[in-house]
């Protein structure tokens, strides 16, 4: 849980490449656990980048030691891809802020010990948003709904209600009004984690497809002897390598302190598309068994889909990539 956290705060002080490998290996077994760690790590990084020394000392040792999980609260019912449309507010009062509003689909929200939440402190638009570190057990915060989902069942997803929550000025993370940009930076780093999650799912699909194609026989042969099956596996292996190389490049750029946003978008888009596509192929290779809960491919198939949606949908990644080439034409 402290993979990106410096040793002085009890973390592993590892780099982004190590982080990508760790998330990948977790997702190979369980994608829900992988996203829990990925979101948690994204917030550890944001605290490291933006936090005051008091905030770092207060939160990082507990987060690195797994004494608490961190959650991320940006999305609202009418503000998803268009996150700058968020309406929940944090208004200055009594030397601190009073927080009101609703946040939707907060990963680990029911169990988190700290939430990085984005709230409106100023006018409409991206400049009026600030980031805060909030303890979810404060009076006025409640879990309004735990969301039932298609997959990643080991990851908690919930809606949080904030009703007149009094927080101190020391809860502000980064500068007032810089919260939208800071949330976007956190999500950019988070995309390396979601690409890694996709790669882990894809790697598991490949392992299970190879095993099954050797064991299962039809028409007197292992099904892997049929090109209809073996070519699917070849394609899966190639896309797995390509996804890894794209994501390791993004991680290496981040480790070198260079701009990695575009590389992370490409990695996330490619890896999540490949995970969704090949999870369906892995299920197909397993035939009827693949549709049953006896085989893990059924779970990978359900888990893979979310990677195309959260931390920037595939369409938003394409907007980012296209804009890097064309500029803003609208
Ligand atoms: C399981 C789960 C966990 C989540 N965890 C978190 C979390 O921890 N914290 C958090 O804050 N949020 C979280 N989210 C929210 C997630 O990040 C959003 O669902 C996602 O950003 C998309 O927003 P939306 O669902 O409102 O879709 P919308 O933004 O309404 O998009 C609907 C469709 O329109 C497309 N679209 C929108 N704008 C454009 C555009 N400009 N160009 C082309 N297409 C476009 C989208 O790609 C999509 O296909 C989670 C969601 C889920 C389902």
3-state secondary structure of 168: coil
Atom 27 of ligand 1, residue of closest alpha carbon: 80
- Taking the CA of residue 73 as reference, the ligand 1 atom at the shortest distance is 11
pTM, full prediction:
0.97
Q: Determine the distance separating the centroid of ligand 1 and the alpha carbon of 313, expressed in angstroms.
A: 6
Give the Cα separation of 28 and 201 in Å (integer).
5
Residue 306 confidence class, pLDDT cut points 50, 70, 90 = very high
Indicate if 311 belongs to the active site.
Answer: yes
Q: Is residue 146 predicted with pLDDT exceeding 90?
A: yes
- Taking the CA of residue 71 as reference, the ligand 1 atom at the shortest distance is 8
Q: Which among 134, 197, 313, 328 is the best mutation to test ligand 1's pocket, defined by most ligand atoms within 8 Å of the CB?
A: 313
Q: Determine the distance separating the centroid of ligand 1 and the alpha carbon of 317, expressed in angstroms.
A: 12
The residue count for the chain:
330
Q: Determine the distance separating the centroid of ligand 1 and the alpha carbon of 85, expressed in angstroms.
A: 13
155: tokens are 């990851």
Residue 330 confidence class, pLDDT cut points 50, 70, 90 = confident
The CATH homologous superfamily to which domain 7-70 belongs is Acyl-CoA dehydrogenase/oxidase, N-terminal domain (1.10.540.10)
Domain layout of the chain by residue ranges: 7-70, 71-176, 181-326
Give the Cα separation of 22 and 27 in Å (integer).
9
Ligand 1 site residues (CB inside 6 A) read 39, 72-75, 80-81, 105-107, 149, 157, 306, 309-310, 313, 315-316, 319
Q: Which member of 148, 308, 311, 315 is catalytic?
A: 311
Rg (CA), the chain: 21
| Span 60-109, pLDDT tens digits | 999 999 999 999 999 999 999 999 999 999 999 999 999 999 999 999 99
| 174-207 residues labelled b (16+ CB within 10 A) or e (exposed) | bebebbbebbbbbbbbbbbbbbbbbbbbbbbbbe
Name the CATH code of domain 181-326 (choices 1.10.3720.10, 3.10.450.50, 1.10.260.40, 1.20.140.10).
1.20.140.10
| Span 166-194, pLDDT tens digits | 999 999 999 999 999 999 999 999 999 99
Which CATH fold would you assign to the domain 71-176?
A: Butyryl-CoA Dehydrogenase, subunit A; domain 2 (2.40.110)
Instruction: Please name every residue paired with 165 in a beta bridge, in sequence order, or none if there are none.
Output: 99
Percent of the chain with pLDDT over 70: 100
What is the DSSP annotation of 233-293?
HHHHHHHHHHHHHHHHHHHHHHHTTS--HHHHHHHHHHHHHHHHHHHHHHHHHTHHHHTST
Provide the 10 A C-beta neighbour count for residue 214. 12
């Amino acid at each position: 849980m402290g993979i990106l956290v410096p040793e002085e705060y009890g973390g592993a002080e590892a780099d982004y490449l190590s982080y990508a490998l760790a998330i990948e290996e977790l997702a190979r077994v369980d994608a829900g656990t992988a996203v829990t760690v990925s979101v948690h790590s994204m917030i550890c990084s944001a605290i490291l980048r933006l936090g005051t020394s008091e905030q770092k000392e207060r939160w990082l040792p507990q987060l690195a030691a797994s004494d608490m999980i961190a959650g991320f609260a940006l999305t609202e019912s009418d503000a998803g891809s268009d996150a700058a449309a968020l309406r929940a507010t944090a208004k200055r009062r009594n030397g601190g802020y009073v927080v009101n509003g609703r946040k939707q689909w907060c990963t680990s929200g029911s169990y988190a010990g700290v939430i990085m939440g984005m709230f409106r402190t100023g006018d409409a638009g991206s400049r009026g948003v600030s980031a805060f570190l909030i303890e979810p057990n404060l009076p006025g915060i409640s879990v309004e709904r735990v969301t039932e989902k298609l997959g990643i069942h080991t990851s908690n997803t919930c809606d949080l209600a904030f009703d007149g929550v009094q927080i101190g000025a020391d809860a502000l993370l980064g500068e007032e009004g810089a919260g939208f940009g800071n949330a976007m930076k956190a999500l950019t780093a988070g995309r390396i984690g979601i690409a890694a999650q996709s790669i882990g799912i894809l790697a598991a699909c490949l392992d299970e497809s190879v095993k099954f194609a050797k064991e299962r026989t039809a028409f007197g042969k292992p099904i892997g002897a049929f090109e209809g099956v073996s070519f699917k596996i070849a394609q899966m292996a190639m896309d797995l390598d390509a996804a890894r190389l794209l994501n390791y490049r993004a991680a290496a750029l981040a480790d070198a302190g260079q701009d990695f946003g575009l590389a992370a978008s490409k990695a996330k888009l490619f890896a999540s598309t490949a995970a969704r596509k090949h999870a369906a192929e892995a299920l197909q290779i397993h035939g009827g068994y693949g549709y049953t809960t006896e085989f893990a491919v059924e779970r990978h198939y359900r888990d893979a889909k979310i990677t195309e949606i959260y931390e920037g949908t595939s369409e938003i990644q394409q907007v980012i990539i296209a804009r890097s080439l064309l500029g803003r034409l609208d």
